[in-house]
Structure 1
């Protein structure tokens, strides 16, 4: 009862042995109590009547080198205190938390004592707890102390003594004003010294240049308080060594004993409703745009299997397969696409918004990105296709992405790109927004498709979310503006020509709009062909140009003048061969 009481009172586990039983186990009357790890083949019957095979990491209490208890966990049944016990050996010790945790796990045991040792007990309370137990046994059971032995192997027992600097200014800054009835004031040095001294702390004033401030209380009108300069060096009592570690811990004790009800509790006069930041609003709209285009949002772990030096690896991963941070989103999307096919599901059309991480020369970096994968049949029904799936073409996949940009009111250009080895070198484009690289779009490389056993029509895109949001946050994008439409009819002209393959459609459209000025309403590509009757290294492109004026009906002469300028510009700038 005494050992259990002291355990709850001081948090220090103790164990009592029957002395005669210890002598019987040791085989001699002279006892030497020791601590060691178990040896191979040893066993011990514990207080729960279980015979336990001891492991090398099991820590033992021994009597003349014979195991009598699992140190810090449970005693042995052979030396248990009984009703007939007349003499006891009281053991009080401090063990390393790691050693007790390993010892308990090796036997599948966790007790009140081991739980406290695993969390760590206060070293300076050992003597106090031991003396408390002896005093209770002497008082309540009429015991007599005959022998006491101490073995201390700690490298520096004085390390449990801690001194903390405390500032009165900081105390009042954290706790705020004190309610003094009709007035408010501050905590005074006398209050701090009285409270901490009652806890057993020793306060030593620190020398500083005083700045006198008049006391606000009527009771101490004549006194001066050096509130901006009063400082102490507080020596923490040993029994509070584990929980009084910083200045804020001392301030918390001052508030607790001074009385929380004595501090002013002014609430803000007006509270505001919660709101989403602009970035959160735009991200939500971006998710809606991709979902409206028929894509499913996906979520993957940020942790992946380490594969290259650019990845950031965790120091203490739970699993080797998830021990590094991802550097891109496409790898996870390709894995998900493959997994869905292997499970007998249809091809996946999805997107993901997440964070990627990488190493730089300056250190570690991270950024938000958005990526997607396309390859499923965009149509819902198959009646008109004979029940067969129709693979998505490159232009259909590009059209899905362009529909999202159109919904977001963003003008994105496409340029040929071969930087990513996972993508088809002839069917990959980099995305550009207002002169900044936005990301990339393309078809998976045939070699990668073959390795993963994927269908041919699989397309992916990856976008830098920061670049997209920066361009989207501008006023002209956020605030819808009415554009006056023309009530006059439009005039359309088709323009077909042979152009080198190296010339992108985006370059042609940009040059055409610049020449067409205000009369050119729109320009778009409606046909592209490579094959017979087309010169080698070139392709046939056909554009439709729509002209319209806001104040009149255009004549054929006006349209032809502008259209001729477009022809001449394309021939001069890109060297195209006109077909129309």
Structure 2
């Protein structure tokens, strides 16, 4: 809000300079973003009278003026304004004047060969308008020539651009800021005197019908007749311009003035236009929510389709305004208005917020209603507005109707118990004259009294504090009062207390593992993907958590897994011409079961397409990724993380995955997740390539494994300097026996009876099915590598171990050995 210092000085005694006041307000939570010193805009500009205005001898659009500025000789000034003429009073920038708005210093010069000794100014050149059609002409009578124009144009003022960091409603008014300044500085408060308005009586042609008493607890409608629409007085226009509000006419300007002064939005309807809209002489003002399909053309010229959440002002049930937001164009005050209906009302903050949001409209009125205006001063603002309209527009109030559903005045305030001990406990000590003490009780009482609170001593060190109505919405608890004490006493006056000793920071196990996972997947060539935590709801499930008020209709529930979102992202990338997506995502998933709502961390990924470069050798054709290549990418991640051997078991539970090319993953007997190729039917429906693979991992299983110190800390393991002994083993095995099971048996057999350190690795290097192989069997060949860490192994050491492996395979799986 833009605060005029001249206006503020009428409301409170201020002895501080603008800079000191800005610092004081900023330290108290009112951020002053800018200080606009208007006194510099026209320093050296004086009142002058044009004595003569003759055409320039060498230019058609210029005039040579003789201007009297109260000196011995008139100034010869060349002026290009079309409205320059003899006999008018103007603003003259004399030689040596600097005009910062246009960055010009006035110097004696010649224009088209004619001497010019100054400049006759327009309001735009003085910073008061963006664009002016001509020079400014003073309308006041008997102005002394040579008088400083700043007091005449409101340029003897300083404007503070103020923002309330606490978002307080009372801070959006001059009276509210004046109260704050009085509390901070101790200056005397001088609120405007509100005259009692005498209204002849209520007439039957004005009634109230408030259907939504919660949304509109109070409404005052006042008929004012004899209105003479005209420009507002200079002082009123100057105040509005200083606040950044464009003057319109005396009635509208009066309502805007009260909005700025008291923070109470008002609206003026043209009474005759209301009668035209309703078609009836009798007028019933109502407040209700809009019906579906209703429309209203607002003051900004837009025809708006109303929503059921939109709160309306109606005349005989016809919409005429968006309540608390903006009036209607059909009933606005114009130059022919002679009768008005003045609205002064209270609206529920939540209702106005919803109403403004449905229309995408935010105004000065809605900004105040959304924060909650002062209920206790509605009548005060209304009387002040009526008196001002009488003063500037010659209006006479004839009728007033009131609908008031507010509770009694006792509900506009509250009593809070405040303990001195609690104040000291929360705020700590302060520094006073090099001494460290608790805030004295007298300072506590002084601060709260200055805020308008009433204090009653309950017992020693305990007060009952009665909050004033204008702070009712934000002073609710004891801690709120303590915050006010700290704010007004000065945050910079409290002692600084540093911790005795610091502790080194550390990351929790889950964060360390998650970072390692991200590094490992990125190293494997996958891109991390982030999605909303919502899911496209096609069928309702008991496990899904449905959102009551979703942001998007299609995203009406929380996701229960990650792979579906990655499949959609894969499809989207293909459709956009970006190629296949090899990506992974770490995020939260949500579900509901008999124990309640669950929220867990999950990891999923998708791999597909041809990752190779240089496809010219295949005439540009893609080479589909095999199941084993995709599995190898996942294995490389496990190896980089330092996980032990992952077991793969056939799995058909996920309908999105190929039933014959899907495996469940197991880590030391704990389920780790799933890995498999997308189902052909799903790929066909989405238009995906032939080979696309997805995986889902349980992060909790990985966290559990790493929840051992030796697993997190990398250990150095020296390489053996002795040669290895290789042995191959080939056999026929049933096709339903997995390679993982065979490897497990091999490792177990070779490590029995002291063989633990000799078997270094076991690797499948050949598989064959076809001719000379019995149906239901396959030929497998493994290479076993034996190595000792302290010696070269002999055949006598290796052969017994190798024979144990052979015997174990025959016994366990009934294989037919070929070697």
Shared fold per TM-score greater than 0.5: yes
1:5 aligns with 2:257: yes
Residue 6 of structure 2 corresponds to: none
Q: Bigger CA drift: 561-570 or 187-196?
A: 187-196
Per the TM alignment, residue 509 of structure 1 is displaced from its structure 2 partner at its CA by 1.8
Aligned CA-pair RMSD: 4.1
Residue 424 of structure 1 corresponds to: 658
SS in 2 for 1:484: coil
1:245 aligns with 2:496: no
Per the TM alignment, residue 501 of structure 1 is displaced from its structure 2 partner at its CA by 3.6
TM-score normalised by structure 1 residue count: 0.81
User: Which segments of 5 or more consecutive residues in structure 1 lack a partner in the other structure?
Assistant: 208-225
Q: Which has the higher contact order (CA 8 A, sep 6+)?
A: 2
Q: Give the whole-Å Cα distance in 2 for the aligned partners of 1:367 and 1:272.
A: 30
Matched-pair contact (CA < 8 Å) for 1:47–1:80: no
Residue 168 of structure 1 corresponds to: 420
Q: Give the whole-Å Cα distance in 1 for the aligned partners of 2:690 and 2:277.
A: 79
Residue 217 of structure 1 corresponds to: none
1:297 aligns with 2:297: no
Q: Give the whole-Å Cα distance in 1 for the aligned partners of 2:494 and 2:366.
A: 41
After superposition, where does 1:525-544 map in structure 2 within 5 Å? 525-544=764-783
SS in 2 for 1:353: strand
1:362 aligns with 2:595: yes
Matched-pair contact (CA < 8 Å) for 1:22–1:79: no
Residue 178 of structure 1 corresponds to: 430
Q: Give the whole-Å Cα distance in 2 for the aligned partners of 1:409 and 1:79.
A: 75
Matched-pair contact (CA < 8 Å) for 2:509–2:703: no
Q: Give the whole-Å Cα distance in 2 for the aligned partners of 1:44 and 1:110.
A: 16
| Candidates 464, 480, 483, aligned match of 2:717 | 483
Per the TM alignment, residue 564 of structure 1 is displaced from its structure 2 partner at its CA by 1.0
Q: Give the whole-Å Cα distance in 2 for the aligned partners of 1:101 and 1:67.
A: 19
Per the TM alignment, residue 255 of structure 1 is displaced from its structure 2 partner at its CA by 1.5
Matched-pair contact (CA < 8 Å) for 2:294–2:305: yes
| Candidates 313, 323, 326, aligned match of 1:60 | 313
Matched-pair contact (CA < 8 Å) for 2:312–2:319: no
Per the TM alignment, residue 473 of structure 1 is displaced from its structure 2 partner at its CA by 5.4
Cα separation, partners in 2 of 1:332 and 1:100, compared to 1, 3 Å: closer
Residue 262 of structure 1 corresponds to: 493
Cα separation, partners in 2 of 1:259 and 1:295, compared to 1, 3 Å: closer
Q: Bigger CA drift: 17-26 or 322-331?
A: 17-26
1:565 aligns with 2:804: yes
Cα separation, partners in 2 of 1:502 and 1:234, compared to 1, 3 Å: farther
1:192 aligns with 2:444: yes
After superposition, where does 1:493-572 map in structure 2 within 5 Å? 493-516=727-750, 517-572=756-811
Cα separation, partners in 2 of 1:166 and 1:546, compared to 1, 3 Å: same
Matched-pair contact (CA < 8 Å) for 1:164–1:245: yes
Cα separation, partners in 2 of 1:43 and 1:481, compared to 1, 3 Å: closer
Cα separation, partners in 2 of 1:262 and 1:103, compared to 1, 3 Å: closer
1:542-573, Cα deviation, whole Å (9 max, x unpaired): 21111122222222222111111111222223
SS in 2 for 1:251: helix
Cα separation, partners in 2 of 1:134 and 1:267, compared to 1, 3 Å: farther
Residue 577 of structure 1 corresponds to: 816
1:29-65, Cα deviation, whole Å (9 max, x unpaired): x9866335699999999878x6979979673364x88
| Candidates 418, 429, 454, aligned match of 2:688 | 454
Matched-pair contact (CA < 8 Å) for 1:166–1:233: yes
Cα separation, partners in 2 of 1:116 and 1:492, compared to 1, 3 Å: same
Cα separation, partners in 2 of 1:503 and 1:177, compared to 1, 3 Å: farther
SS in 1 for 2:346: coil
TM-score normalised by structure 2 residue count: 0.59
Matched-pair contact (CA < 8 Å) for 1:17–1:79: yes
Per the TM alignment, residue 492 of structure 1 is displaced from its structure 2 partner at its CA by 1.0
Q: Give the whole-Å Cα distance in 2 for the aligned partners of 1:116 and 1:375.
A: 56
Q: Give the whole-Å Cα distance in 1 for the aligned partners of 2:465 and 2:332.
A: 46
SS in 2 for 1:521: strand
Matched-pair contact (CA < 8 Å) for 1:358–1:366: yes
Residue 380 of structure 1 corresponds to: 613
1:290-335, Cα deviation, whole Å (9 max, x unpaired): 2322333333332221134222222211211222222222112222
Q: Give the whole-Å Cα distance in 2 for the aligned partners of 1:202 and 1:476.
A: 65
| Candidates 622, 632, 636, aligned match of 1:403 | 636
Matched-pair contact (CA < 8 Å) for 2:296–2:306: no
